[in-house]
A and B are shown apart, each in its own frame.
Chain A
Amino acid sequence: MSNSTSPSGLSRRTFMTGSVTAAAAMPLMATSPKAAELSPARAAEPRDLSTISLRINKQAYTLALDNRTSLLDALRDHVGLTGTKKGCDHGQCGACTVLVDGKRVLSCLSFAVMNQGREITTVEGLASADGELHPVQQAFVDHDAFQCGYCTPGQIVSAIGCIDEGHAGSEDDIREYMSGNLCRCAAYPNIVAAIIQARDEIRRA
């Protein structure tokens, strides 16, 4: 599922510690000889790579991708933003949740090629430039709203969407509208408490 070596050749650990700044400083340009050799006269073939432009966390990226590439795999394996997690890869767990044009969606069920021209926000794009956490991130820390942490990026991004949609009015609402994010450690009570704190803080702001 996750590679021990990142596409840029960095080890996983090095990559994790440096990924946010590295990705922000130098957007990866994935180019492919196959795309470059394409003759304009030849009809397109299903295996041809598509050159696609994505805006991720306010950065522009140009990638050469097989049309089959999910937005999730584009983020993780081609851009190097591994904060967004792959759980089930079939739209059943919510670990891959990202914001597209401000709406929470499942990046595993969306082909990357379908996201051209959209504004994509991942968990890496939530904290402010000076490192201050988003109110939802801070609330998850304050309430210990995780154990293993694997579902947490999806939970946090989904919670931002949930609050923005106006579906965090009550604990029942939060449980209903966050039901697409499974937590195998069952940190649900703390997740609900964190969302209530973040909701109130966002309302005050």
Chain B
Amino acid sequence: MRPFLYERPTSVSAAIAMASRLDARNVAPTQAKTQFIAGGTNLADYMKLGVAQPERLLDLNELTEPALRQIKTDDDTIRFGALVRMGEAADNNDVRRRCPLLADSLKFAASGQLRNMASLAGNVLQRTRCEYFRETSWPCNKREPGSGCAAMQGVNRQHAVLGTSDACIATYHGDFAQALIALDAVVEVEGQRGPRKIPFASLHRLPGDTPNIETDLAADEVIVAIEVPLDPWSRRSRYLKIRDRESYAFALASAAVALEMDGNTVRQARIALGGVATVPWRARAAEDALRGNVLDDKIAAAAAEAAFADARPREHNAFKIPLGKRTLVRALLETRDMKV
């Protein structure tokens, strides 16, 4: 691991000023000399592996703004402070009652220990688990731009079938992000250029030719809150996660579903897919296929077909397409049948 300086800012503005001091403005946060750390579950791991090499860590756990550690709910929104831990949010009764999808996407992620450590903001920014990204002896366009992608011809069972490019097929493995993109969450950010709000769907960037640039954030920007609007479909919502083992594993395929029903007819649908795409993945074509239709096995299957119409499998991950479709069908039917 590269040696690093360690500092503990006590306010968001101080953290931003300290991050701005050393770094060029146009460096991706993951490549910046100064990086923020909160739970550390992802960054510390990648520092040990030599994948992340910050020269200076700014520990955000001493920030004193109370809102950073609070979950606030009113009639229209749930607002998660950035430093709220995953476990706390998963156990919040108000969150579970108002939007089971949010609570379950957190409950079925990682382990009890990791959920106690990981902050919500850090969780949505977690980096891929692609083995070729994690092991620095392999070429990887995400880790070393232009070096190539070992996963293309390698063992790519875990890799993405949606949102891929010729440069990168690494999966985005997070769960909470699928709930957030399905529910049109908004990310509140503060930085040297002032505060701004980013629609969750614009936070992550498709790999394209620059898989090393993973998000829309600048190196001196800090997520301070994640706001989730509460809508008529929030209560009838669910997260289904299919894994190699039943707990403590990343999704092979997952589905985040929220439905507003009028009897058996779908008034509104919100759908996102995990484990199968390079970024948090909103399945708008599937939503369109459902809207206005009676939700039965046939229309659920049609929605699943639409969701994976553009899927591009590699040698070992073609199974994710039928698995992803069946996961979505089951999630849709189970969400339809929820008592709310």
Contact = CB atoms under 8 A, between A and B. Distances in A.
Contact of B113 (A46, A104, A114, A166): A104
Interface in B225-251: 246-248
Nearest to B44: A109
B3 A91 contact: no
B92 interface: no
Contacts of A161: 112-113, 116
Contacts of B248: 179-180
A66 interface: yes
Interface residues of A, number: 36
B4 A68 contact: yes
A94 B59 contact: no
A158 to B, nearest CB: 7
B111 interface: yes
B6 A109 contact: no
Given A111-B6, A176-B247, A106 B112 contact: no
Interface in A30-44: 44
A149 B45 CA distance: 25
Interface string A6-26: 000000000000000000000
B35 to A, nearest CB: 13
B113 A68 contact: no
B112 A110 contact: no
Interface string A151-168: 000000010011001110
A106 to B, nearest CB: 5
A114 B41 contact: no
B9 to A, nearest CB: 13
B103 to A, nearest CB: 13
A94 B113 contact: yes
Interface residues of B, number: 31
Interface in A137-177: 158, 161-162, 165-167, 175-177
A5 interface: no
Contact of B48 (A89, A104, A106): A89
A92 to B, nearest CB: 9
A120 B326 CA distance: 45
A12 to B, nearest CB: 25
Interface string B19-47: 00000000000000000010011001101
B251 to A, nearest CB: 15
Contacts of B55: 46
Nearest to A110: B40
A177 B117 contact: no
29 contacts: A45-B3, A46-B3, A46-B4, A46-B56, A47-B3, A50-B6, A67-B3, A67-B6, A68-B3, A68-B4, A90-B48, A91-B45, A94-B113, A104-B113, A106-B41, A109-B114, A111-B40, A111-B44, A111-B57, A114-B37, A114-B40, A114-B59, A158-B112, A161-B112, A165-B91, A165-B112, A180-B110, A180-B113, A181-B111
Interface of B: 1-6, 37, 40-41, 44-45, 47-49, 55-57, 59, 61, 87, 91, 110-114, 116-117, 246-248
Given A103-B116, A175-B247, A179-B112, 7 more contacts: A66-B3, A91-B113, A105-B113, A106-B41, A176-B247, A180-B110, A181-B111
